[in-house]
Chains A and B, each alone.
Chain A
Amino acid sequence: MNKIEAEKGISTKPKTDKEVLLDIQNLKTYYPVKGGFLKRTVGNVKAVDDISFTINKGETLGLVGESGCGKSTTGRTILRLLKPTEGKIIFEGKDITTISGTRLRKARQDFQMVFQDPYASLNPTQSVGEIISEPLKNYKSMSKKDIKDEVMDLLSRVGLPPEAYHKYGHEFSGGQRQRIGIARALALKPKLIIADEPVSALDVSVQSQVLNLLKELQDEFKLTYLFIAHDLSVVKHMSDRIGVMYLGNLVEIATNDSLYAEPLHPYTQALISAIPEPNPKKRKKRIILQGDVPSPQNPPSGCPFHTRCPMAKEECSKVKPILKEVKPGHHVACILY
């Protein structure tokens, strides 16, 4: 019987017809730079400079790029923790770019964040029980007992002992603190979780445990992830699709397999060549990029990558390439394609 129902499910919802959960259109986030003795705005750090992508329900989109390329800013802007300078954020068909006050607070239930720094992301004056119950108290009219039961349940789901309830953050290791942060993000049963480098501050031995936990929770709660990381090897195991960022721009976005099998953008090629390959026969020549990342306050004209690109041509400095689909589901922003 189950089988029939399952087949029915598939037939009514073909795999190609994916539901879009999040639609980002031409998003820009600039940080104003104040200067001079009157503290006037003298420039902008173009941390996110016109990016567009979508995330489908239930999938994990990985977002990679070097440190400082604007990944955190992207994540925080999507959650409306930062004010977007331009563009649109559409969540479940609703435009949340400009909502504020009570409407924004209501909307926040559906999207949560797991933060990068396991030490700074927990309030040192709150006990674990207070930290995890706070989202419930903010939104749900539940009795004290129900809240406590719910928190206990969350603790066990993220693999923490019940005794953790009365303890404080400083009594835990980095990995455990990250689990506390995950439980807090999970408390409201959100639809989207943005994980901003959730394991980059952890010991390598603990990283895979936390990654596995995130995967298990995704299946259990039908979560959609935007998974941010600064190296491709972590993202590879987590994502269905991967977006590559450089200097506030999205330079390539493709399915996991397609990106690894055939990276198109010269920057992606360089990143992939930098992943350590244990098999010496498969090893390819590592592409070493020349020069430094330009300042996002004063980005190069044309293609943002042309100053370091081994394949740069003259027109690269003049025309900014737009992201276009060169193969089904594989988008790249480069004039070579």
Chain B
Amino acid sequence: MVNVTAGTAKPQEKSINMSPFAIARRKFLRNKLAMISSFFLLTVIIFSFLAPYITTQDITKVNISLMSLEPGGEHVLGTDKSGRDVFTRLLYGGRISLVVGFSCTALVILFGTVVGSIAGFYGGVVDSILMRFTDFVLNFPFLVFVIVLNTILFGIVNGLYVLIGVISLLSWGGVARIVRSKILAEKENEYILAAISIGCKPSKVIIRHLLPNVLSTIIVQATILFASMIVAESALSFLGFGVPQSIPSWGNMLSASQEADVLRDKPWIWMPPAIILVITILSINFIGEGLKDAFNPKSQR
């Protein structure tokens, strides 16, 4: 302990041998709001995916004798107008909403990153063509396209896949633009020239050198997207153009509130999905903020 000062090492405690990602992780773990949000999100995910082990109620079977029961007794959160258990549908609905949100996010990040990084790295004609295509996709009338495709493909392909495919195909433009602008800035650094001169192929320069350095941006984008994809699913389902009515999702459950008597007199039918949706979105956003902060080299700790 005494001869610690013998060397010229700075008293920088434990930051020795830490990659930028290790430093970001440590910062994130110290962020209380982000940690609480992560904990909550994790709980929602676990409950949704363990639904079959938590409740044994049938999610689809209509039961006229149990219509619109108030919460209590055998049905913790009551039943809806078709006599189905709200709690059970909430869990199974979370499953669908989270899966749709996650799949869309993953696909959007994948398309957006591939297009954005190729456009940014190569520049010139490749960039022009890809970015004009991106503009075209960004200006596509989203809702119209979803409705038309849903109608055409109804019954041919599983409605859920249509929804995920359509949302993803129309939403990657923003990510492509952000990734491109980040890559454009990052590739000006001399380490990219160094990578080329030590014999890295273009694909390796992008994957090993450019993407890890814009990964923080991509991760933050992904969290924001995850929240907005869940909202998009809910909104489309609420309007009746999203997840097929036979499958429960938070959006489908919310659409029950379109009936005036449910909205006014039977809050147990639409309040649970509304509350869980809001809290889930909030916690994802807090996690996003926490990540942004953690990756920012200028923030303390």
Question: What is the interface of chain A, defined by CB distance below 8 A to chain B?
Answer: 39, 76, 79, 81, 105, 108-109, 111-113, 115-117, 120-125, 127, 134-135, 138-139, 166-168, 170-171, 181, 184, 187-188
> In the assembled complex, which residues on chain A have CB atoms less than 8 Å from the CB atom of B190?
115-117, 120-121
CA distance A121 to B198 in the complex (A): 13
Across the interface, name the chain B residue whose C-beta is closest to A166.
Answer: B17
CB-based closest 4 A-B pairs: A135-B198, A138-B199, A121-B190, A125-B212
Decide if B198 touches A112 in the complex (CB within 8 Å). Answer: yes
Decide if A167 touches B17 in the complex (CB within 8 Å). Answer: yes
B2 lies within 8 A of chain A by Cβ:
no
Decide if B198 touches A124 in the complex (CB within 8 Å). Answer: no
> In the assembled complex, which residues on chain A have CB atoms less than 8 Å from the CB atom of B166?
none
Q: In the complex, which of the residues B18, B198, B212 has the most CB atoms of chain A within 10 Å of its own CB atom?
A: B198
Across the interface, name the chain A residue whose C-beta is closest to B212.
Answer: A125
CB distance from B253 to the nearest CB of A (A): 43
User: Given A76-B193, A113-B194, A116-B190, A125 and B200 touching (CB < 8 A)?
Assistant: no
CB distance from A35 to the nearest CB of B (A): 15
Number of A-B contacts (CB under 8 A): 74
> In the assembled complex, which residues on chain B have CB atoms less than 8 Å from the CB atom of A181?
194
> In the assembled complex, which residues on chain B have CB atoms less than 8 Å from the CB atom of A112?
197-198
Decide if B193 touches A115 in the complex (CB within 8 Å). Answer: yes
> In the assembled complex, which residues on chain B have CB atoms less than 8 Å from the CB atom of A138?
198-200
> In the assembled complex, which residues on chain B have CB atoms less than 8 Å from the CB atom of A116?
190
What is the interface residue range for chain B against chain A?
20 to 34
12 residue pairs bridging A and B, Cβ less than 8 Å apart: A109-B199, A115-B193, A121-B190, A121-B194, A123-B195, A123-B213, A124-B20, A125-B20, A125-B21, A127-B17, A135-B198, A138-B200
Decide if A168 touches B194 in the complex (CB within 8 Å). Answer: no
Q: In the complex, which of the residues A111, A117, A125, A135 has the most CB atoms of chain B within 10 Å of its own CB atom?
A: A125
CB distance from A139 to the nearest CB of B (A): 6
Across the interface, name the chain B residue whose C-beta is closest to A107.
Answer: B199
**Interface digits, B5-26 against A, CB 8 Å rule (1 contact, 0 not)?**
0000000000111111100000
> In the assembled complex, which residues on chain A have CB atoms less than 8 Å from the CB atom of B194?
113, 115, 121-122, 181, 184
B191 lies within 8 A of chain A by Cβ:
yes
> In the assembled complex, which residues on chain B have CB atoms less than 8 Å from the CB atom of A170?
20
> In the assembled complex, which residues on chain A have CB atoms less than 8 Å from the CB atom of B198?
108, 112, 134-135, 138, 184, 187-188
Decide if A139 touches B20 in the complex (CB within 8 Å). Answer: no
Decide if A81 touches B196 in the complex (CB within 8 Å). Answer: yes
CA distance A166 to B22 in the complex (A): 13
Across the interface, name the chain A residue whose C-beta is closest to B19.
Answer: A168
CA distance A109 to B190 in the complex (A): 18
User: Given A108-B199, A135-B198, A138-B200, A122 and B17 touching (CB < 8 A)?
Assistant: no
Other-chain contact of A79, B128, B195, B197, B215 (Cβ < 8 Å): B197
Decide if A125 touches B193 in the complex (CB within 8 Å). Answer: no
**Interface digits, B198-209 against A, CB 8 Å rule (1 contact, 0 not)?**
111100000001
Across the interface, name the chain B residue whose C-beta is closest to A125.
Answer: B212
Q: In the complex, given contacts A120-B191, A127-B17, what are 10 additional A-B residue pairs having Cβ atoms less than 8 angstroms apart?
A: A79-B197, A105-B199, A113-B197, A115-B193, A123-B212, A123-B213, A125-B19, A125-B20, A138-B199, A184-B198
CA distance A170 to B20 in the complex (A): 9
> In the assembled complex, which residues on chain B have CB atoms less than 8 Å from the CB atom of A117?
190
Decide if B200 touches A134 in the complex (CB within 8 Å). Answer: yes
B189 lies within 8 A of chain A by Cβ:
yes
> In the assembled complex, which residues on chain B have CB atoms less than 8 Å from the CB atom of A125?
19-21, 212-213, 215
CB distance from A171 to the nearest CB of B (A): 7
CB distance from B119 to the nearest CB of A (A): 14
Across the interface, name the chain B residue whose C-beta is closest to A132.
Answer: B198
Across the interface, name the chain A residue whose C-beta is closest to B194.
Answer: A121
CB distance from B120 to the nearest CB of A (A): 16
Other-chain contact of B199, A123, A139, A168 (Cβ < 8 Å): A139
